[in-house]
Amino acid sequence: MISCSVRPAFLPFALPDTDETEITEIAEAVRSGWVTTGPKTRQFEQEFAAYVGAQHAIAVNSCTAAMHLALEAIGLKAGDEVITTPMTFAATAEVVRYFDVKPVLADIEPRDLNINPDCNVGATLAVAPHPPGAPGRANAIIAAAPQEEKVRKSAAA
């Protein structure tokens, strides 16, 4: 017989890292009536674009939406492939399938749960996300790609 128990304290997936600066910004946004779009969102997009050296940035509501835009931007077509990790939310593979593209589940590294850059999964066109708080080694995976695919891979990574 299997014995089950319930953990006495909540085990959070990811705790917020905030201080009074963020709390003040959140309160200002809520008081302004603009909690999803508006001046704070435009400010964030401009500052983020400047920070990463991009001409534009678009704030979205989820990683799924961000992956959708990234995969759209690189021009996936039916029959293409996307490397992803089995250690992710189901929406990761679902957004890939939305494009009628094949998700390729790659082996992971036990120490950080990221895609193993040494795994040979064939020529693919994009690399999907890494686990929270454990940046992956997308550059190593991109480096192993055929030359003509490097630009499209790096755009999605």
* Three-state helix/strand/coil letters over 69-118: HHHHHCCCCCCCEEEECCCCCHHHHHHHHHCCCEEEECCECCCCCCECCC
Predicted confidence band of residue 130 (pLDDT cuts 50, 70, 90): low
Q: Please indicate, yes or no, if residue 147 is contained in any of the structural domains.
A: yes
Whether 75 shows a pLDDT value over 60: the answer reads yes
Q: Please indicate, yes or no, if residue 13 is contained in any of the structural domains.
A: no
Number of domains present in the structure of the chain: 1
Q: Please indicate, yes or no, if residue 4 is contained in any of the structural domains.
A: no
Q: How far is the C-alpha of 155 from the C-alpha of 85, rounded, in Å?
A: 18
User: Whole-structure pTM over 0.85, yes or no?
Assistant: no
Q: Please indicate, yes or no, if residue 12 is contained in any of the structural domains.
A: no
Predicted confidence band of residue 13 (pLDDT cuts 50, 70, 90): confident
Q: Please indicate, yes or no, if residue 119 is contained in any of the structural domains.
A: yes
What is the residue-averaged pLDDT of the chain?
Answer: 80
Q: Please indicate, yes or no, if residue 45 is contained in any of the structural domains.
A: no
Contact 63, 129 (CB under 8 A): yes
User: What domain range is 145 assigned to?
Assistant: 77-156
Calculate the dihedral angle through the C-alpha atoms of 53, 58, 61, 65, rounding to the nearest 10 degrees.
-90
The percent of residues above 70 in pLDDT, for the chain, comes to: 77
Whether 148 shows a pLDDT value over 80: the answer reads no
CATH number at residue 120: 3.40.640.10
Closest to 109 (Cα-Cα) out of 129, 92, 87, 88: 87
Q: Which residue would you say has higher pLDDT here, 125 or 21?
A: 21
Q: Please indicate, yes or no, if residue 94 is contained in any of the structural domains.
A: yes
Q: Please indicate, yes or no, if residue 17 is contained in any of the structural domains.
A: no
